[in-house]
Amino acid sequence: MQRAYPEKPAQVYFFGTCLIDLFYPEAGMAGIQLLEREGVKVIYPQQQSCCGQPAYNSGYDNEARKVAAAQIACLQGGLPVVVPSASCADMFRHHYPDLFADTPLRKQALDLAARTYELTEFLAHVCKVRLVDHGPAATVAIHNSCSAQRGMKTAQDAISLLRQMRNVAIVQQERASECCGFGGTFAVKAPDISNAMVQDKCDNLLATGASDLVSGDCGCLMNISGALEKRKETLPAQHIASFIWERTQ
């Protein structure tokens, strides 16, 4: 069932995610600029930090709850929350309600869940963007995170945005839907398995001959481009927001 989308709001909150904050701030800025270009005022609450997923996935619920509660606190007030990561959006949308199920914050968690959108989802369905591509010809491989495919089911939105771009050709990789092996702490707790997965992902991506790699999740990007770099192979990788913003100005 498709989600019912609201009219384009005047204002939104932007939740940057901790990875973007520290390692890929340009992706966050691109997301903010894309939204503002659509006439949506973006508020970036300075109190935000991390959705709490790393601890949650490792089975440290109390710690995750502590950090999650701080996000709930700074994202109050009914505005839609736009997140440039399906994985963190999934945490808000689907895991906060579980995490706070038997606590006083339950209602607020449900409220936040209902207001949360992944960036490409918001651009495609709420802003209904029309993108005008000014970039050079590119052949792009998309890596959709597992959360985009399964949790948030927004994988199609990234594709539909890229399809609007005149000079962009999307190339298909083998086993496109397979996990890249990041999985947050999985990459550290089961490093050898994770490595086997990311090496295959790199092979499949390189085999496409793509000029660029684009993803809606910086966790996957960090994993894949980190592995490519170690292998001394080049496939420029960007968050989809950066990629779109750079080509459409």
Partner 1 sequence: MSRFEPATVNLEFDKRVGDALQDQELRANFRGAMDFLMGKRAAMFPDKEGLEALRTQGEAIRNRCLSQLPELLEQFEQRCTENGIQVHWAETAQEANAIILEIMHKHDATRMVKGKSMASEEIGLNHFLADHGVECLETDMGEYIVQLADETPSHIIMPAIHKNKQQIARLFNQKIDGVEYSENVDRLIGIGRDVLRQKFFEADVGLSGVNFAVAETGTLCLVENEGNGRMTTTVPPVHIALCGIEKVVESLRDIPPLLKLLTRSATGQAITTYFNMISSPRKPDEKDGPKEVHVVLLDNGRSRMYADKQLQQTLRCIRCGACMNHCPVYTRIGGHAYGTTYPGPIGQVVSPQIWGLHTAGSITKACSLNGACGEACPVKIPLADLIRRLRYESNNSEPTSVPAPRGQGALRKRSEAVTWKLWALLLHKPGLYALALFIATRLRALAPRRIGPWTRYRSAPKPAARSLHELAAQRSQSNASSQEHGRHE
**Any contact of residue 176 with partner 1 (CB under 8 A)?**
no
- Tell me which stretch binds partner 1 (CB under 8 A): 5-13, 157-165, 194-202, 238-246: 194-202
Assess contact for 112 and 56: CB atoms under 8 A. no
Closest CB 53 distance from partner 1, rounded Å: 10
Closest CB 31 distance from partner 1, rounded Å: 9
The site map against partner 1 for 83-122 (x = CB under 8 A) is ---------------x------------------------
Instruction: Identify the residue among 172, 196, 233, 246 touching partner 1 (CB under 8 A).
Output: 196
**Closer residue to partner 1, CB minimum distance, 111 or 200:** 200
- Tell me which stretch binds partner 1 (CB under 8 A): 52-60, 116-124, 154-162, 163-171: 52-60
**Any contact of residue 28 with partner 1 (CB under 8 A)?**
yes
Closest CB 82 distance from partner 1, rounded Å: 13
Residues that bind partner 1 (rule: CB under 8 A) add up to a total of 69
The site map against partner 1 for 150-169 (x = CB under 8 A) is xx------------------
Interactions with partner 1, residue window 55-74 (CB under 8 A): 55-64, 66-67, 69-70, 74
Interactions with partner 1, residue window 202-231 (CB under 8 A): 222-223, 226-227, 229-230
In residues, how long is the chain? 249
**Any contact of residue 29 with partner 1 (CB under 8 A)?**
yes
Instruction: Identify the residue among 81, 162, 198, 210 touching partner 1 (CB under 8 A).
Output: 198
The two three-digit tokens of residue 101, written as one number: 């199920």
Angle, alpha carbons 230-236-240 (nearest 5°): 125
The two three-digit tokens of residue 136, written as one number: 């050079």
CA dihedral 232, 21, 195, 53 (to 10 degrees): -170
Residue 136 CA, chain-centre distance (Å), reads 25
Residue holding tokens 């520290």? Answer: 22
**Any contact of residue 54 with partner 1 (CB under 8 A)?**
yes
Q: What residues line the site for partner 1 (CB under 8 A)?
A: 14, 16, 18, 20-26, 28-29, 32, 43-44, 46-50, 52, 54-64, 66-67, 69-70, 74, 98, 146, 149-151, 177-179, 181-184, 186-199, 222-223, 226-227, 229-230
